[in-house]
Chain A
Amino acid sequence: MYETTYHRASSVDEAAALFSKGSEAKFLAGGHTLIPVMKQRLASPSDVIDIGKIKDLIGVQLSGDTLTIKAATTYYDIMTNADVKKAIPAIAHLTSVLGDPAVRARGTIGGSIANNDPAADFPAALVSLGATVKTNKRSISADDFFKGLFTTALEDGEIITEVSFPVPEKAGYAKMRHPASRFALTGVFVTKTKGGDVRVAATGASQSGVMRVSAIEAALKSNWSASAIDGVSVSSSGLLSDIHGSADYRANLVKVMAQRAVQAAG
Chain B
Amino acid sequence: MGMEGIGASVVRKEDKRFITGKGRYVDDIKLVGMTYAHFIRSPHAHAKVKSIDSSAAEAMPGVVAVLTGKQIVDDKVGNLICGWAITSKDGSPMKMGAWPAMAPETVRFVGQAVAVVIADSKNLARDAAEAVVVEYEELPAVADMPSALKPGAPQLHPEAPGNVVYDWHIGDEAAVGAAFSKAAHVVSLELTNNRLAPNAMEPRAAIADYDAAEEHFTLYTTSQNPHVARLVLSAFYNIAPEHKLRVIAPDVGGGFGSKIFIYPEEMVALWASKKVGRPVKWTGDRTEAFLTDAHGRDHISKAEMAFDADHKMLGLRVKTHANFGAYMSLFSSSVPTYLYATLLSGQYNIPAIYAEVMGVYTNTTPVDAYRGAGRPEASYLLERLVETAARQFKMDPAELRRKNFITQFPHQTPVIMAYDTGDFNASLDAAMKAIDYAGFPARKAAAKAQGKLRGIGLSCYIEACGIAPSKAVGSLGAGVGLWESAEIRVNPVGTIEVLTGSHSHGQGHETTFCQLIADRLGVPISQVSIVHGDTDKVQFGMGTYGSRSAAVGLTAILKAMEKVEAKAKKIAAHALEASEGDIVIENGEFKVTGTDKSIALPMVALAAYTAHNLPDGMEPGLKESAFYDPTNFTFPAGTYICELEVDQATGKTSFVNFVAADDFGRLINPMIVEGQVHGGLVQGIGQALLEHAVYDGNGQPVTASFMDYAMPRADDVPSFKLSHTTTLCPGNPLGVKGCGEAGAIGASAAVINAITDAIGNNKLEMPATPDRVWHAIHGNA
Contacts and interface: CB of A to CB of B under 8 A. Distances in A.
Contact of A180 (B123, B706, B774): B706
A8 B690 CA distance: 40
Contacts of B694: 243
Nearest to B705: A180
B650 A180 contact: no
Nearest to A185: B770
Interface in A19-41: 41
Contacts of B713: 100
B707 A243 contact: no
Nearest to B707: A181
Q: 10 nearest interchain CB pairs?
A: A180-B710, A179-B710, A249-B771, A256-B649, A181-B707, A245-B771, A1-B127, A243-B694, A180-B708, A179-B690
Interface residues of B, number: 26
A243 B692 contact: yes
Nearest to A181: B707
Contacts of B690: 179-180
B83 to A, nearest CB: 34
Interface string A224-258: 00000000000000000001111001001100100
Tell me the interface secondary structure of chain A in the complex.
loop
Nearest to B647: A256
A6 B716 CA distance: 38
A243 B127 CA distance: 33
Contacts of A1: 127, 130
A252 B711 CA distance: 25
Given A179-B690, A243-B702, 17 more contacts: A100-B713, A176-B652, A179-B710, A180-B690, A180-B710, A180-B711, A181-B707, A185-B770, A243-B692, A243-B703, A244-B710, A244-B769, A245-B769, A249-B651, A249-B770, A249-B771, A253-B650
A244 B689 CA distance: 11
- Residue of A2, A179, A245, A249 contacting most chain B CB atoms (<10 Å): A179
B709 interface: yes
Contact of B123 (A2, A181, A259): A2
B466 to A, nearest CB: 35
Nearest to B769: A244
A185 B771 CA distance: 10
B443 interface: no
B775 interface: yes
Contact of B770 (A2, A100, A176, A259): A176
B441 to A, nearest CB: 28
A40 B275 CA distance: 30
Contacts of A245: 769-771
Contacts of A252: 649-650, 774
Given A243-B694, A243-B702, A256-B649, A180 B127 contact: no
Nearest to B711: A180
Interface in B112-133: 123, 126-127, 130
- Residue of B123, B694, B710 contacting most chain A CB atoms (<10 Å): B710
17 contacts: A2-B127, A41-B126, A100-B713, A176-B770, A179-B710, A179-B716, A180-B707, A180-B711, A243-B702, A243-B708, A244-B769, A249-B651, A249-B774, A249-B775, A252-B649, A252-B650, A253-B650
Interface string A169-182: 00000001001110
Contacts of A181: 706-708
Contacts of B692: 243
A1 B131 CA distance: 11
Contacts of B126: 41
- Residue of A41, A244, A256 contacting most chain B CB atoms (<10 Å): A244
Contacts of A259: 649
Nearest to A3: B123
A256 B771 CA distance: 13
A235 B709 CA distance: 28
A181 B702 CA distance: 14
A179 B708 CA distance: 8
Contacts of B650: 176, 252-253, 256
Interface in B735-781: 769-771, 774-775
A180 B713 CA distance: 9
A124 B63 CA distance: 49
A176 to B, nearest CB: 6
Contact of A246 (B127, B649, B711, B771): B771
A47 to B, nearest CB: 19
Nearest to B285: A39
Nearest to B702: A243
A132 to B, nearest CB: 31
B364 to A, nearest CB: 15
Interface string B85-123: 000000000000000000000000000000000000001
A181 B710 CA distance: 8
Given A243-B692, A243-B702, A179 B127 contact: no
B518 to A, nearest CB: 40
Interface in B663-721: 690, 692, 694, 702-703, 706-711, 713, 716
A246 B770 CA distance: 11
B770 A180 contact: no
A181 B652 CA distance: 16
A48 to B, nearest CB: 17
A228 B760 CA distance: 29
Interface string B29-57: 00000000000000000000000000000
A259 B649 CA distance: 11
A41 B129 CA distance: 12
A252 B651 CA distance: 11
A130 B404 CA distance: 65
B739 to A, nearest CB: 28
A248 to B, nearest CB: 8
Contacts of A2: 123, 127
A44 B464 CA distance: 52
Contacts of B774: 249, 252
A246 B651 CA distance: 13
A176 B650 CA distance: 8
- Residue of B692, B709, B713, B770 contacting most chain A CB atoms (<10 Å): B770
Interface string A1-16: 1100000000000000
Contacts of A179: 690, 710, 716, 769
B496 to A, nearest CB: 43
A198 to B, nearest CB: 21
B206 to A, nearest CB: 22
A41 B125 CA distance: 14
A112 to B, nearest CB: 16
Contacts of A249: 651, 770-771, 774-775
B564 to A, nearest CB: 50
B709 A180 contact: yes
B367 to A, nearest CB: 19
Nearest to B648: A256
Contacts of B708: 180-181, 243-244
Contacts of A100: 713
A117 to B, nearest CB: 11
A185 B706 CA distance: 15
A77 B404 CA distance: 59
A245 B770 CA distance: 8
A243 B770 CA distance: 11
A258 B274 CA distance: 64
Nearest to B767: A179
Contacts of B649: 252, 256, 259
B95 to A, nearest CB: 32
A31 B130 CA distance: 25
A199 B770 CA distance: 27
Nearest to A260: B649
A185 to B, nearest CB: 8
B287 to A, nearest CB: 8
Nearest to A179: B710
Nearest to A248: B775
A52 B220 CA distance: 41
A10 B732 CA distance: 70
